[in-house]
């Protein structure tokens, strides 16, 4: 009896399931799913088997052929992080059938009423499973160490459409008995219902399970890419324009990292409450609509999620303690793709923005240095609470350091070999370090691997990017302290990312009159670019400019992307205007809460509870 992952009840003495067949009745009227999961093991197993669940009601556990009940137990009370363990007792079975239902508070699911969508006419539901939320949709060994294939039948209102991070098999009439015993035929086969069937033949970690149901439309943008969105044709059209360069990026990725193994690379643009910029669900990446700005800058987020097709989805962190293997490699790979399609200057701007972000995280975790490490101890820690730029940016800098040491050609060869060697496996940090030492002999004498991988803080041999645009912007920001504002001609060529870098490097707090003057000249609070708008508002509030409260309120009611919620709520409760800020934050959250995804609700709650 030993846990395989601090975030899962899965046990090292038990076999990992290899396949799950799901029948899911998607019920908008109760914001819940009624379903069955036929779970298959690699060989017959006797004794107990433990699965993860959260907010699930377990109706029955049955022998898959005789349909006789099998003994099972649901642990109680729920562990605040892991949820409830479902322990099933088997006697030489290689599969069993669980019938269950989700609850409206299931943390992976956001249910939107028609007014909460762009189209306003139909309801919408979507999933977000990383890091440990798949267990709130169906019982599973919810650790990325356990890879599964799956098939899924989604029973949905016939007027809607389902998409999944899997291959679509068919859209057809429901058949009696398909979801027995979870869902009666009268409901499953009702006139106004349809079944959409999907199949995922490649082994994935559970956090890559994903679907969405709503009034979804799509358009082709490349030979293996369609873009889908909820809302009118204008949303799909704008998305198609923004992402027109996707195929070019896939080709670059293949050249750098090896064949694209997932066949399709579709994109789904979600409603504004989607809590992330993007989520790398295989075959169908999920994206926030805030990346559609009409200037193709959303390409950076697509480059990132695409890069996960190799680093993250082919090679997956074994547990969330090795999350840097996903995000550090992906940030490195993303910047290589950006460099190839948009040039070195753009890539170095991204590195520069990330560098500032990494340094800020050191301040955030100064009393909790564990989370400044690449490999982290996360026992008793909720991954959503310690999500940060550290795995992304420190991971990036580590790989960049190795690249500088051995040269780009050698590093590229190493990366390709790494991916080919471990594809479709879940990996830990130690295995990576051993592979690095074996394939780059002597590297441990040239780069201090121990400090980089297991140490806290930013190692002294990490470097800022060298580029003229980057240095110019950073020094312009420093000059702001002396009262110098950039002239119109100096910013004429600036796009969102230049502004983002500039704003992040400004002194804080700044003189309120200077904040207002900068905004009067460049209308930053009104920017269409969310990165710019939020960076400006955060800086303004931290400088005590309460006149921006209204703009902050508007922003926090329009989007649910945590990258924006986190800094804005934090600065309200911590910034120069904290007393009034706290009052605003509380009222705002009470009003906006329902529009946020459950994961985002939890994150805002944590911020407020720390400071109120």
Active site residues: 305, 392
277 is an interface residue for ligand BES by CB under 6 A: yes
Stretch that binds ligand BES, among 8-16, 172-180, 227-235, 272-280 (CB under 6 A): 272-280
Which of residues 153 and 304 has its CB atom nearest to ligand BES in the complex? Answer: 304
Q: For residues 11-70, which are near Zn ion according to CB under 5 A? A: none
Q: With the CA atoms of 455, 457, 461 and 462 taken in that order, what torsion angle do they form, in degrees rounded to the nearest 10?
A: 120
Collect all residues with Cβ–Cβ distance below 8 Å to 288 and sequence separation of at least 6: 269, 270, 272, 274, 276, 277, 278, 301, 559, 561
Which of residues 157 and 383 has its CB atom nearest to ligand BES in the complex? Answer: 383
Question: Which residue has the closest beta carbon to ligand BES?
Answer: 277
CA atoms within 13 A on the CB side of 226: 12
Is 277 annotated as contributing to ligand binding?
Answer: yes
DSSP 334-394: HHHHHHHHH-HHHHHHHHHHHHHHHHHHHHHTTT-GGGGSSS---TT--GGGS--SIIIII
Which of these, 552, 556, 570, lies nearest to 610 by C-alpha position? 570
Q: Which of 126, 209, 276, 589 binds ligand BES (CB under 6 A)?
A: 276
Q: Which of 5, 280, 321, 553 binds ligand BES (CB under 6 A)?
A: 280
Q: For residues 199-228, which are near ligand BES according to CB under 6 A? A: none
DSSP 561-587: -HHHHHHHHHHHHHSTTHHHHHHHHHH
Q: For residues 552-591, which are near ligand BES according to CB under 6 A? A: 563
Is 128 annotated as contributing to ligand binding?
Answer: yes
Residue 235 phi/psi, 5-degree rounding, is -65, -45
Which of these, 498, 508, 506, lies nearest to 532 by C-alpha position? 498
State in angstroms the smallest separation of the CB of 211 from ligand BES: 16
Given Zn ion, ligand BES, none, residue 277, with its beta carbon under 5 to 8 Å by kind, binds ligand BES
Cα–Cα distances in Å, from 486 out to 448, 491, 522, 536? Answer: 41, 7, 10, 15
Query: Which stretches of 372-461 are assigned E, i.e. beta strand?
Result: 425-427
Tell me how far apart the alpha carbons of residues 57 and 39 are, in angstroms, rounded to a whole number: 17
Which of residues 330 and 595 has its CB atom nearest to Zn ion in the complex? Answer: 330
CA atoms within 13 A on the CB side of 542: 18
373 is an interface residue for ligand BES by CB under 6 A: no
Pair of tokens at residue 499? 């502004």
Q: For residues 531-560, which are near Zn ion according to CB under 5 A? A: none
Q: For residues 322-381, which are near Zn ion according to CB under 5 A? A: 327, 330
State in angstroms the smallest separation of the CB of 304 from ligand BES: 4
Contact characters 116-135, ligand BES, x per CB under 6 A? --------------xx----
597 is an interface residue for ligand BES by CB under 6 A: no
Which of these, 457, 243, 306, lies nearest to 368 by C-alpha position? 457
Contact characters 313-332, Zn ion, x per CB under 5 A? --------------x--x--
Which of residues 72 and 293 has its CB atom nearest to ligand BES in the complex? Answer: 293
Q: Which of 257, 387, 432, 452 binds ligand BES (CB under 6 A)?
A: 387
Which of these, 206, 101, 213, 212, lies nearest to 150 by C-alpha position? 206
Q: Which of 54, 82, 293, 308 binds ligand BES (CB under 6 A)?
A: 308
Stretch that binds ligand BES, among 179-187, 188-196, 303-311, 463-471 (CB under 6 A): 303-311
Is 369 annotated as contributing to ligand binding?
Answer: no
Tell me how far apart the alpha carbons of residues 139 and 148 are, in angstroms, rounded to a whole number: 13
Q: Which of 26, 88, 145, 301 binds ligand BES (CB under 6 A)?
A: 301
Which of these, 517, 527, 509, lies nearest to 577 by C-alpha position? 509
Q: Are strands 57-63 and 84-101 parallel, antiparallel or unpaired?
A: antiparallel
Given the rule CB under 6 A, which residues bind ligand BES?
130-131, 276-280, 300-301, 304-305, 308, 327, 387, 563
Given the rule CB under 5 A, which residues bind Zn ion?
327, 330
């Amino acid at each position: 009896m030993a846990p395989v992952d601090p975030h899962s009840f899965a046990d090292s003495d038990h076999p990992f399931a290899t396949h799950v067949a799901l029948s899911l009745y998607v019920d908008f009227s109760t914001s819940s799913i009624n379903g069955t999961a036929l779970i298959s093991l690699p060989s017959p197993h006797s004794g107990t088997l433990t699965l993860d669940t959260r907010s699930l009601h377990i109706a029955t556990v049955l022998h898959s052929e005789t349909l006789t009940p099998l003994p099972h137990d649901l642990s109680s009370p729920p562990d605040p992080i892991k949820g409830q363990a479902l322990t099933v007792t088997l006697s030489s079975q290689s599969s069993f059938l669980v019938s269950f239902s989700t609850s409206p508070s299931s943390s992976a699911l956001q249910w939107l009423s028609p007014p909460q969508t762009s189209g306003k006419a139909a309801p919408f539901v979507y999933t977000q499973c990383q890091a440990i939320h798949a267990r709130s949709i169906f019982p599973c060994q919810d650790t990325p160490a356990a890879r599964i294939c799956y098939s899924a039948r989604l029973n949905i209102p016939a007027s809607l459409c389902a998409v999944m991070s899997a291959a679509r098999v068919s859209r057809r009439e429901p058949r009696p008995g398909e979801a027995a015993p979870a869902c009666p035929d009268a409901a499953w086969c009702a006139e106004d219902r349809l079944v959409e069937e999907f199949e995922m033949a490649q082994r994935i970690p559970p956090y890559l399970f994903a679907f969405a149901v709503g009034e979804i439309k799509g358009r082709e943008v490349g030979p293996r890419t369609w873009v889908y969105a909820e809302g009118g044709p204008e949303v799909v059209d704008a998305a198609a324009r923004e992402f027109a360069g996707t195929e070019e990026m896939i080709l670059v990725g293949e050249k750098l990292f090896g064949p694209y193994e997932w066949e399709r690379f579709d994109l789904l643009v979600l409603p504004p409450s989607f809590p992330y910029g993007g989520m790398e669900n295989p075959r169908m990446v999920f994206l926030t609509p805030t990346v559609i700005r009409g200037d193709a800058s959303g390409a950076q987020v697509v480059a990132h999620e695409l890069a996960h097709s190799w680093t993250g989805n082919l090679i997956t962190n074994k547990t969330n303690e090795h999350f840097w293997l996903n995000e550090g490699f992906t940030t490195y790979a993303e910047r290589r793709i950006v460099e190839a399609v948009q040039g070195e200057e753009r890539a170095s701007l991204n590195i520069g923005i990330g560098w500032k972000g990494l340094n800020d995280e050191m301040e955030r975790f100064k009393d909790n240095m564990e989370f400044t490490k690449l490999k982290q101890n996360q026992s008793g820690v909720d991954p959503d609470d310690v999500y940060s730029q550290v795995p992304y940016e420190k991971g990036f800098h580590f790989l960049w350091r190795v690249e500088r040491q051995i040269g780009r050609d050698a590093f590229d060869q190493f990366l390709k070999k790494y991916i080919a060697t471990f594809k479709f496996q879940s990996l830990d940090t130690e295995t990576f370090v051993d592979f690095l030492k074996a394939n780059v002999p002597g590297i441990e004498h040239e780069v201090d691997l121990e400090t980089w991988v297991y140490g806290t803080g930013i190692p002294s041999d990490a470097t800022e990017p060298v580029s003229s645009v980057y240095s110019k912007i950073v020094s312009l920001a420093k000059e702001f302290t002396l009262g110098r504002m950039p002239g119109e001609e100096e910013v004429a060529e600036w796009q969102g990312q230049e502004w983002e870098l500039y704003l992040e490097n400004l002194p804080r707090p700044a003189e309120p009159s200077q904040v207002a003057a900068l905004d009067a000249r460049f209308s930053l609070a009104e920017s269409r670019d969310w990165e710019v708008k939020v960076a400006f508002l955060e800086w303004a509030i931290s400088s005590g400019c309460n006149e921006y409260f209204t703009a902050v309120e508007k922003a926090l009611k329009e989007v649910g992307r945590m990258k924006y919620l986190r800094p804005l709520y934090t600065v309200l409760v911590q910034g120069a205007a904290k007393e009034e800020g706290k009052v605003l934050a509380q009222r705002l959250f009470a009003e906006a809460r329902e529009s946020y995804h459950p994961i985002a609700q939890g994150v805002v709650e944590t911020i407020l509870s720390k400071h109120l």
